[in-house]
Structure 1
Amino acid sequence: MSASNLPVGPTRPTSPTQPTRSARPVRPAGYALVRAGRVSFLVHRRTALVVAGLVLLLAAAGVAYLCVGERFTAPSEVLKVLLTDERLPARYAVEELRWPRLVTGLAAGAAFGVAGALIQTVARNPLASPDVIGISQGAGAVTVAAMTFGLASYTVLPYVSIAGGLLAAGLVYAFAWRGGLHATRFVLIGIGFAVALRSLTHLVMTKGDYLVAQQAQIWMTGSLNGRGWEESLPLRVTLLALLPAVLWAARAQRTVSLDDDTATALGVRLGRVRLGLVTVGVVLASVATGVAGPVDFVALLAPQIARRCTRTAQIPLLCSALAGALIVVLADLLARRLFSPTELPVGVLTAAVGAPYLIWLIMRSRGVGGRS
């Protein structure tokens, strides 16, 4: 039988346009799909667990902060003070002294944590912290000058700090720019500006009144002592106003973390995105400095703690904010009671922890890279 005489049966279409069964989208490893009605999104499991753990630790630290003082207050009595209008003996200590100070510490720590995460993301260097590259020192220099010469009231000082931080960041950015933003050059120039601005701050302090200079010296170490609702209002207002910008930054930092060629090929305007991220970080760090003083190393520690706990490619902003708030609250609690009745500034405790970490980080970077 010839091939032409073979029976011809029905054949399956082999056209590339043949409809096939739709495949399910591939879910990245380590992510969970969360559905809320018609909206679905991916959640990194480890990050969600870290956020939950930090929230629990922060709640426990907050309860301890409200209970511990010159006189211990039971947690049940603290709840009565916060939730009722009963005239209780602990009302003044809890409601007028500890509660406003706790809220100020939470807000300042969160601002420092997010600011450090954004600036480290743009510089691609864990050493690029606002208190290392001169931003906090710029805010501090302008603020101390305003305090020393009586140019602004205390409630206006946080806004003055924003101007000083933006000025310092602009100078560092301008001097570090050479056809691009090189991470090492950015950090080294920032360190140089930090030293110069700190020296300028001390020079300004010698020109003013002795009592004002003493207050400025305490403020420069970073302190939450005497911070009430009125003093923390600029920080709370700024955090609320910048919330949309922070949400944008959480999305924009993903593209900045890519290499320049890939990001440019995707149509990302790196210059504008980096400038926006740096601006948000500088404003947050500056206004927190204006309220609580330059609390050193919080912006350096919090993003690295968040990144090492979550093990993500980008620094998670929410975890950085929670870690920064936890660091400030715990440090201030220890500063109040460690050498009681003497009260230490919170910046002393954070510097005692952050300085060894900075030395370790520099030594580790040198060992990995083979050079400094």
Structure 2
Amino acid sequence: MGKNYKTRPNFRLFDIFIEEKTFIIIVIVGFILAGASTAYNWQIAMWIGFMFVAYAAVANDSIQTIGTFIESNSDKKWWYLWLFIGIIFLATVCFSFFYYDGDVSYQRLQVTNEDGGLMFPHPKEFSFFQIIAPLVLLILTRLRMPVSTTFLLLSVFSASSSGITSIVYKSWTGYILAFILSFLIWNLAYDFIRKRFKSRQYNKAWTYVQWAVSGSLWSVWIMQDGANIAVFLPRQLEFYQFIIFSATIFIGLGLLFYFRGDKIQQIVSEKARISDVRAATLVDFSYVILLIYKLFISNIPMSTTWIFLGIIGGREIAISFARKKKGNKHKKKAFNLVLKDFGSAMAGLLISVALLAGVNSSIRDDISNLFEGLF
């Protein structure tokens, strides 16, 4: 009888609550702080929002930038990996801070609208929805959903709907390009890759190549997505603000490596042979090439999560088609993985739009007019 009781939904929910009680308490306290700070003082709200996003954005995006790095270096000490990635982070943001006069976003937060105003201005007062956006990201991350931090975080700071449509267009075109490129690489070169990578033994030079590629990818990602973390702070930081900003992220990275990517790491771990350092290097190399390409097209922010999902999705589908195994079981598994990740990313986009509508009345009107035109 005892075992039957444990299978009931109410007991399962209780087990989940016990397992995640610390996280649930943290989220509840976070919502309380968000409400209190927005009602009391905007500067306190600013720093609370930043502290939330500092860990939420890095933890969520670990799957797309350093997830393969963590997975393929699971035999290395966590603090060794942390120092490597952490020093690259500090070097990257220091360059932006000094070169762009206090701007750590590589001018992603300096993009202007048609009227000359900032597309993502720093608010004079913070709303409750802006502060809880990182908490929503934390919850979705805990559920192992690879949602776009760009959509979820920058959307609530957008001055108009044009800012979001610009991000969506650049991100979706990036997803399609990434999917096609990754599919072609792994489908056309699968036999060669399988032959060369068949042995579990590999030349140690691959490790150095992978660290160089992963370091480059991480640096370029910061140039693209650093805006997501800095969006709560002034567009030109004072030196003490920069110290707080960089030190907080550096410590957050340490926690991330200590927990080996935490729950969101499963998105990477479940993919076919991604723990092989050579496969991880090819994935990261194609990813960093696309990010560099998109980096120089325009200063408009984009979702690097969508680029990553395109890379991973194209690879999974290509491998499933290239394998000589009979039956459709492996093909169905690959399609299910891709659809699951795509669905999670779309869910994040819808949640972003809902939060955005709660923040900006003019965007609520735009959404209302859109639905009126459709129906």
**What TM-score results when the alignment is normalised by the length of structure 1?**
0.28
If asked which structure has higher relative contact order (CA below 8 Å, sep 6+), I would say 2
Pick the structure with more helix per residue. Answer: 2
**TM-score scaled to structure 2, two decimals?**
0.28
Larger Rg: 1
